[in-house]
Chain A
Amino acid sequence: MKVDQLSIFLENRAGRLAEVTRILAESGVNIRALSLADTSDFGILRLIVSDFEKAKDNLKAGGFTVGRTTVVAVEVQDQPGGLNNILEMLRDAKINVEYMYAFVNQSGEHAIIIFRFDRTDQAIELLQKNNIAIVPGEKLYKM
């Protein structure tokens, strides 16, 4: 039910992001979803990729500091209230969302939201109990 997310430390200067995408392109790794968090000095690039291990090894070899984080991908109805329903559920269970980012699936019916929770296992349990569709990592990587 969990998804491996790649996190990469980037200095805030021109060309660093391009260096990451160059390495991934040369490795034949596809990016499924991404988000970039930034401060004035540095940023953290978060990626869901088609081949986690290959991407990680090649980025490390390229001199980047990379990390593995467990996140949860949730299918949300692409209609008003779809996300709100899930967030209220999490709020009531006092589960905190550290960050999240979304992308729309090719079918167009669902949005997929990547969540980083403070308590991942409890969050998965809660979502499953409420019949929220969780996209397993294996499926997401091949999407």
Chain B
Amino acid sequence: MIFDVEHETMPREELEALQLRRLQSVVARVYENVPFYRKKLDERGVKPEHIQKLSDVTLLPFTEKQDLRNHYPFGLFAVSRENIVRIHSSSGTTGKATVVGYTRRDIKNWGSMIARCLAAAGATSGDFVHNAYGYGLFTGGLGIHNGAEELGATVIPISGGGTRRQAMLLRDFGATVLTCTPSYALHLYEAAKEMGIDIKDLPLRIGIFGAEPWTDSMRNEIENKLGITAIDIYGLSEIMGPGVAIECAKVKKGLHIQEDHFLAEIIDPDTGEQLPHGEKGELVFTTITKEGIPLLRYRTRDISRLNTAPCRCGRTTARMERVTGRSDDMLIIRGVNVFPSQIETILLETDGLTPHYQLIIGRTNNLDTLEIRVEIDEAVFSDQIKNLQRLETKIEKNIKEFLGVTAKCKLVEPKSIERSEGKAKRIVDMRNSQA
């Protein structure tokens, strides 16, 4: 089903004309209201009226995640705080978090975009959505929630965690749509099985999974085990949250971008040059309707490609290829974005530990695991076991508190972390080498 026939199936010339009008409007708004953008545009000698055609988007400056951090918390907002109705934020140490704000209209638009996504995945107002994305500052839970209500479906805000209880309610309530990370879907399946519940026998028929990269073989595994159709959803909090793009259940080849709200480009991550459609590169979005915190040419660091060929589902919107990698060192652990530099900061702030550490990411029972190996030095060494264990616990607690991920800390001997050309190997990701 197509939820918004007008916008999702608009002829491309019409869609592009709409995008241009909205692009002109957003550039004018940020030039007027966001000092950061006014300065950047002035530096380039670009005025809002210079945007005459869609390709003029390349006149605009890029926005980086660091720009949001530098203007923490509300420095890039384009409206006064009174007009913001909700705040979301990514994990991060104080001053390093990226904070986004939504106006009433932003929330409404987001809701209708999620409703489109649910419909594209095959859900209707008669469905029952078991929403296991985390509720709170993370955009996943509340984002899906609003959209499910907008569609008119029944939504159970179960949030993350409490897996045995989730399995029980999935059976007792008979939900038909599951929304969570793909790895959690498999974890839930195993946990349910141990309780004697086979999800395949339940009414569940659709899964909408995102917030972490996954492969087609993982899709096959989920579809076979759970007996459902598994759909990929894409989003990021800086741009909006989940629902920036969605696969259609009919074709399942690429994710339809909500192009009436976001202008997508692919660039060469090294040179910043825009690449023609069909070429692989870094995804860049300009939010063309957002009021709270509109962003020009936001660099997602996600590697993908765009396809504007018409889709058999009837939608005319461009499709982005499933994200195949990153152009930076960001890790996604249980759906949470983690930068090694954040962990480094936490270590330094915890009793002045040396920045000699290594992150080992694995997967146990379909859930990501994070082990942090930290080289011990004389400043924190003690002759007593309890002091060293207290240090490990303190690091684990700080990581959990600031980044929202559970980690296991392990103290190791100095110089024991593998170094190549004098540089420590910071990250060992074993998730892809494991079954």
Q: Which B residues touch A67, using CB under 8 A? A: 378, 381-383
The interface residues of chain A lying within 8 Å CB-to-CB of B410 are: 41-42
Annotate A103-127 by CB proximity to B: 1 below 8 A, 0 otherwise: 0000000000000100000000000
Known contacts A16-B413, A42-B388, A42-B411; A65/B378 CB under 8 A: yes
Instruction: Choose, from A2-10, A26-34, A79-87, the stretch at the interface.
Output: A2-10
Please measure, in the bound complex, the distance between the C-alpha atom of A5 and the C-alpha atom of B382, giving whole angstroms: 12
Which residues of A lie under 8 Å from residue B383 when comparing CB positions? 5, 7, 44, 46, 67, 69, 116
| A11, CB-defined interface residue at 8 Å | yes
Give the CA-CA distance A11 to B412 in the complex, in Å.
6
The interface size of chain B toward A, counting residues with CB under 8 Å, comes to 17
| Contact, CB under 8 Å: B415 / A63 | yes
- Report the Cα distance A69→B387, complex, angstroms: 14
In the bound complex, do residue B384 and residue A98 qualify as a contact, i.e. CB atoms below 8 Å apart? yes
In the complex, whether A52 has a CB less than 8 A from a CB of chain B is no
- B411 & A9 in contact (Cβ 8 Å cutoff): yes
Kindly provide the distance from the CB of B327 to the nearest chain A CB, expressed in whole angstroms: 35
Contact string, A65-84, partner B, CB cutoff 8 A, digits 1/0? 11101000000000000000
A141 at the interface (CB under 8 A from B): no
Q: Please tell me if A39 contacts chain B, counting CB pairs below 8 Å.
A: yes
Q: Are A65 and B414 in contact (CB under 8 A)?
A: yes
Q: Are B378 and A99 in contact (CB under 8 A)?
A: no
Contact of B381 among A5, A63, A65 (CB under 8 A): A65
Pick the contact of B413: A7, A9, A98, A116 (CB < 8 A). A9
Binding site secondary structure of chain A: strand
How near does chain A come to B209, taking the closest CB pair, in angstroms?
A: 34
Q: A65-B377, A67-B378 are in contact. Are A37 and B385 (CB under 8 A)?
A: yes
Complex CA gap A123/B389 in Å reads 26
Cβ 8 A contact of B376, one of A9, A16, A37, A69: A9
Which residues of chain B are within 8 angstroms of A98 by Cβ–Cβ distance? 384
B residues less than 8 Å from A69 (CB atoms): 383
Residue B416 lies at the interface, judged by CB distance under 8 Å to chain A: yes
Which residues of chain A have C-beta atoms less than 8 A from B384's C-beta?
37, 44, 98-99, 116
Residues of B within 8 A of A38 (CB): 385
Closest beta carbon of chain B to A76's beta carbon, Å: 22
Q: Is the CB of A65 within 8 A of B385?
A: no
Q: B414 near A63 (CB under 8 angstroms)?
A: yes
* Chain A CB within 10 Å, residue with most, of B383, B411, B415: B383
CB contact under 8 A between A44 and B385, given known A65-B376, A65-B377: yes
- CA A9 – CA B411 in complex, angstroms? 9
| Residues of chain B with a CB closer than 8 A to A5's CB | 383
For A39, the chain B residues whose CB sits under 8 A away are 385, 389
Contact A44 B378 (CB under 8 A): no
Bound CA–CA A41/B360 (angstroms): 15
A65 and B389 in contact, given A7-B381, A44-B384 (Cβ under 8 angstroms): no
When chains A and B are docked, how far (Å) is the Cα of A49 from the Cα of B414? 23
Residues on the A chain within 8 Å of B414, using CB = 63-65
Contact with B along A42-68 (1 / 0, CB 8 A): 101010000000000000000111110
**Chain A residue with Cβ nearest B385:** A37
> Which A residues touch B382, using CB under 8 A?
7, 44, 67
A99 to B381, CA, bound (A): 17
Residues A66 and B378 in contact, CB atoms below 8 Å apart: yes
Q: Smallest Cβ distance from A124 to chain B, in angstroms? A: 18
Shortest Cβ distance from A5 into B: residue = B383
| B window 367-388: CB within 8 A of A | 376-378, 381-385, 388
Q: Which residue of A lies closest to B413 (CB)?
A: A11
| Chain A residues near B378 (CB-CB < 8 A) | 65-67
C-alpha spacing A25/B231, complex, angstroms: 64
Residue of B nearest to A116 (CB): B383
Measured CA separation A67–B378 after assembly (Å): 7
When chains A and B are docked, how far (Å) is the Cα of A42 from the Cα of B411? Answer: 7
Q: Is the CB of B388 within 8 A of A44?
A: yes
- B384-416 interface mask toward A, CB cutoff 8 Å, 1 = contact, 0 = none? 110011000000000000000000001111111
Closest Cβ of chain B: how far from A10's Cβ, in Å?
A: 7
Residues of B within 8 A of A42 (CB): 388, 410-412
Bound-state CA distance A10–B416 (Å) is 11
A10 touches B413 (CB 8 A): yes
Chain B residue at minimal CB-CB distance from A7: B383
CA of A42 to CA of B413, assembled, Å? 9
Q: By the criterion CB–CB under 8 Å, are B415 and A41 in contact? A: no
B388 touches A11 (CB 8 A): no
A39–B412 CA distance with the chains assembled, in angstroms: 12
With the chains together, A120 CA to B213 CA distance in Å?
A: 56
Q: Can you list 5 residue pairs at the A/B interface with Cβ under 8 Å?
A: A16-B413, A42-B412, A44-B384, A66-B381, A116-B383
In the complex, besides A65-B381, A67-B382, A67-B383, 20 extra interface pairs with C-beta distance below 8 angstroms are A7-B381, A7-B382, A7-B383, A9-B381, A9-B413, A11-B416, A39-B389, A42-B388, A42-B410, A42-B411, A44-B383, A44-B385, A44-B388, A63-B415, A64-B413, A64-B414, A65-B377, A65-B413, A65-B414, A66-B381
The 7 A-B residue pairs with the shortest CB-CB distance, nearest first, are: A7-B383, A69-B383, A67-B381, A65-B381, A37-B385, A65-B376, A11-B413
- Which B residues contact A (CB, under 8 angstroms)? 376-378, 381-385, 388-389, 410-416
